[in-house]
Amino acid sequence: MAERRLFGTDGVRGVAGEVLTASLALQLGRAATQELGARRMLVLRDTRRSGPMLEAALAAGASSAGATVLFGGVLPTPAAPLLTITHGFDLAAVISASHNPYEDNGIKFFGADGHKLADSTEARIEARMAADAGTGGEHGDVGRLIGAGEDYLRALADRFGGLDLSGIKVALDCAHGATYKIAPEIFRRLGADVTATAITPDGENINAGVGSTHLDPLIALMQQGAHDIGFAFDGDGDRVLAVDRTGEVVDGDELIALIARHLDRTGELGGGVAVTVMTNFGFHRAMKQQGVEVEITGVGDRYVLEALREKQWRLGGEQSGHIIDLGFCPSGDGIASALLVLEALAGHDLTARDGMRKMPQLLVNVPVPDRDAALQDESVLAARDDAAMELGTDGRILLRASGTEQLVRVMVEAPSQELATALCERVADRVRALA
């Protein structure tokens, strides 16, 4: 099988105009259309300044291969699979770099079934790009999908229409990203008293000190005591983290545990839960106590999704806040996950959640020139093994490369935060020495 070089764990991503150029986007659009035999393609994007450029180039490539391309505008990533299925598209693309800074952008594809493309399909797309000799024959049209945002809102309302949020004061941090209109609107339609922040995108402020990777503004807002619960989305809206009324952060592991307990109690879980190797050990203990089976996957929501499809389960996700509920959508959906959390709480205070008790954990991201070489360095591996020996069965250490950036992630779980910090920094220092 051909090897993927452009595609990472979440599509093709890089600095817009340097790595991810208009030329590359055109080639991707043409090759993906040809590989999938697509006649109709949907394109969504987030609020980055480079989005319209890449949108136009991607559409040019797809239409040159015969596809009719419709733009859905600025919408969260999970709208793509929902709209693809609703409107019968053969292929969908989302132009976004998720939680990355505005200088970056990315392109990820969804098939006609609403699922992200398999690794093997992405490899064949790359092979077509390498052999690209252009196209001949008929070209497709380019236009707009009218009412795309309302279609997505309708899907959310249909799923959560029985959720009455009257009297609940909700704070939303929309990261100046793709959720900036949709998230406040659906919460208000369900009756919530909404305070929405980071809702004035200018093309460059997406994720800039706000959103699920920069929680301080939401924490400060919650600590003022005027809201019952807060949610922070990332730039493309496929992940969410929560903050309770005291300002305490509730991460993806805790949210998934809360949802899993709820669905198990109501008989709607439909099996076990799929999570990644990064999931806190406290989650596993909580699920064992609940009698819920857990499947462990590699890092990346695509691998969680593969496990769910193989097991025919419903729920899975990541500590970062990617939560997949196949009862609603074949993709992580930050807005739907936030509403599912409120459904699970059923009027209870998030500070009194009966989910998991986290084991102290520290994750350090270390920039390196070559992430793959760093993971093979003998001194780094020796430091990891020494830390693992010191932890024994009372914790764990994990080294992995970022799927989208030149970073090595060092994660340690230990009986105390002090020990986790000491061991994590010791190993991280060995990685830093390679820079």
0.85 exceeded by the pTM?
yes
In terms of domains, do 112 and 136 share one? Answer: yes
In the beta sheet, which residues pair with residue 8? Answer: 11
CATH number, domain containing residue 172: 3.40.120.10
In terms of domains, do 25 and 127 share one? Answer: yes
At residue 1, the pLDDT reads 45
Has residue 1 been placed in a domain?
no
Reported confidence tier of residue 5, pLDDT bands at 50, 70, 90: confident
Q: Could you report the per-residue pLDDT of 164-184, keeping only the tens digit for each?
A: 999 999 999 999 999 999 999
Residues 6 or more apart in contact with residue 260 via CB below 8 angstroms: 269, 273, 287, 290, 292, 315
At residue 356, the pLDDT reads 78
Has residue 388 been placed in a domain?
yes
Q: Could you report the per-residue pLDDT of 274-284, keeping only the tens digit for each?
A: 999 889 888 98
In terms of domains, do 92 and 131 share one? Answer: yes
Q: Could you report the per-residue pLDDT of 249-276, keeping only the tens digit for each?
A: 999 999 999 999 999 999 999 899 999 9
Q: What is the mean pLDDT of residues 402-413?
A: 88
What does the block give as tokens for 374? Answer: 């760093």
Tell me how far CA of residue 112 lies from CA of 86, 93, 142, 179, 330, in angstroms: 10, 11, 19, 24, 12
Active-site residue, selected from the candidate residues 63, 98, 320, 331? 98
In terms of domains, do 230 and 216 share one? Answer: yes
Task: Please state the domain count of the chain.
Answer: 3
Q: Is 98 a catalytic residue?
A: yes
Reported confidence tier of residue 3, pLDDT bands at 50, 70, 90: low
CB neighbourhood size of 78 (10 A): 30
Q: What is the mean pLDDT of residues 60-81?
A: 97
Tell whether the model's pLDDT for residue 137 goes beyond 80.
Answer: no
Tell whether the model's pLDDT for residue 413 goes beyond 50.
Answer: yes
